[in-house]
Amino acid sequence: MSRTDKGRRTKSERAERVQDWEADPTLDPTPILDAEREQGASIGRFNLAVVGGTGVGKSSLINAIFGKDSAPTGVGMPVTKGIDYHLNPDGSLGIWDFEGFEAGSAKSPEDHVAEGLGEIAAGPREQQIAVVWYCIQASSGRITENDIRLIRTFADKGLHVILVLTKVQRAKEGITGRWAPSGEAKQMLEFLQDPRDESGNLIDLPVSGTVMTAAVDQGKFGGPKHGLEDLLSQTLETSPEENQDALRVVQQLSLPLKRELAQRYINSAAASAMAIAATPIPFADAVALAPVQLTMMGKVAAAYRIDLKVVLSAQALAQLGVQYAGRAAARSIVKVIPGVGWIINAAVAGTITYVTGQSWMRLCEAVHTKKVNLDDIEQAWKDYGPSAQQVLKYYMKFARMSRNNSRPA
Ligand SMILES: Nc1nc2c(ncn2[C@@H]2O[C@H](COP(=O)(O)OP(=O)(O)OP(=O)(O)O)[C@@H](O)[C@H]2O)c(=O)[nH]1
Ligand SMILES: [Mg+2]
């Protein structure tokens, strides 16, 4: 009985307090935009070199992994004869297109490539190649000596080469029901497993990996498209660490890869929030957490390549800041946590920041996949905001974590 009374009283008390905090003129949402811009700039550009004969399916692969607006079309910036550099519209992807030279000209293809690579290496830092896709159409059945020399040329310059077999046809195996390469692709695979020249000597083929792909469905005799996730994950593993986040951002094929990055920003924001509230802060000062949360939100948006200035009006952006960060968010969450009262300690600060980040990440994902229009932020927050269950779950986690942190070593 007294318990119910107490609960009711607290609830109405809370309702009164909430009124004062509804309008929060001190909350400035610009850190979101700043963080988004800075993050975009610090992550930088991913540069991919693509080598392969005309029509082998290079553009189709690029489209499949980086989205429709990314493949080289029209004229790029010719850097050296036969080697073009193409940038996507927002400058997050650079593609070095090695295709405009042919065997039989005055200079050998490998001399040509070596010279081009020298020029690229001497060029700006933001244009340096992270990884090379050497594309060969599987139906050719073999790798030519010319291919082998070119692959060695890239490797000699310290670049990692992924051998990409394109238009690989597959058929379902009778017994296992698994898809396996068929026709010439099968022959090619057998060759690659033990590459030998005509006299039976092992061929030195300095590649970091081989991927079998089909960028489009190939009907009855070739099966559905395949190998794209594999190409993406090998590209990520093969790229220098300093380029990996740029790839996570610019690729459009895998949500988990973006989530990995966003989750890292959320974890580090939650840790900062816990540090801010290591000495508990009064609830009325919850706005002290806003910059951490808004910065986190800007970074997460950048991971999904959402240009908030484009998708949101100034008013919606301001509303977003209030909705997700500072006291309004703290209020909606603290209501759910039992017995914390009106003090924000490390566990509460960590929980608030973490669940806000998770909700925002899910919302960004929905915008990225075009399921949601961010301009309708109020409705979106209703659908994607944290549930009471989630808040409780993470509060337990953060409470445990902060107890462990405060325990003497
Ligand atoms: N069967 C099949 N066709 C494909 C595949 N990938 C691409 N194609 C087709 O092959 C043709 C050439 O593909 P592109 O992606 O334009 O090849 P590219 O290497 O960029 O060609 P260039 O830029 O002209 O050198 C197009 O008609 C594609 O639809 C595949 O995996 N299987
Ligand atoms: Mg092309």
Atom of ligand 1 nearest to the CA of 213: 31
Lowest mean pLDDT among 7-16, 252-261, 390-399: 7-16
The answer to whether residues 277 and 197 belong to one domain is no
Residue range 69-96, pLDDT digits in tens? 776 554 555 555 678 899 988 889 999 9
The answer to whether residues 36 and 131 belong to one domain is no
Atom of ligand 1 nearest to the CA of 60: 15
Amino acid identity, position 349: A
- Alpha-carbon Rg for the chain in angstroms: 27
Find the domain containing 321 and state its range. Answer: 2-40+254-406
| Summary mean pLDDT of the chain | 84
> What are the φ/ψ torsions at residue 65 (nearest 5 degrees)?
-95, -35
How far is 168 from 170, CA to CA, in rounded Å? 6
The answer to whether residues 77 and 164 belong to one domain is yes
pLDDT(330) > 60? yes
Q: Are strands 83-87 and 170-172 parallel, antiparallel or unpaired?
A: unpaired
The answer to whether residues 242 and 315 belong to one domain is no
Max CA pair span of the chain = 96
The answer to whether residues 242 and 355 belong to one domain is no
314-318, 334-338, 360-364 — most confident range: 360-364
Residue range 155-203, pLDDT digits in tens? 999 999 999 999 999 988 888 888 988 888 888 888 888 888 888 899 9
Mean pLDDT calculated for residue range 268-273: 96
How far is 19 from 201, CA to CA, in rounded Å? 81
- CB neighbour list of residue 135: distance below 8 Å, 6 or more residues apart: 50, 51, 52, 53, 56, 57, 58, 61, 164, 165, 166
> Considering its fold, how many domains does the chain have in total?
2
Ligand number nearest to the C-alpha of 60: 1
55 Cα: distance to centroid of ligand 1 (angstroms): 5
State the pLDDT confidence band at 2, using cuts at 50, 70 and 90: very low
294 Cα: distance to centroid of ligand 1 (angstroms): 43
More confident residue, 257 or 18: 257
- Give the pLDDT score at 322: 67
The answer to whether residues 224 and 173 belong to one domain is yes
How far is 127 from 141, CA to CA, in rounded Å? 34
The answer to whether residues 196 and 241 belong to one domain is yes
Tokens 């109405």 correspond to 12
pLDDT(251) > 90? yes
Picking from 212, 232, 250, the residue at the C-terminal end of a domain is 250
Which helix (H) or strand (E) segment holds residue 235: the answer is helix 228-238
Ligand 1, atom 9: nearest CA belongs to which residue? 57
Residues with CB under 6 A from ligand 1: 52, 54-60, 99, 166-167, 214-216, 218, 222
3-state secondary structure of 352: helix
Residue range 195-217, pLDDT digits in tens? 888 888 999 999 999 999 999 99
The answer to whether residues 334 and 235 belong to one domain is no
The answer to whether residues 320 and 221 belong to one domain is no
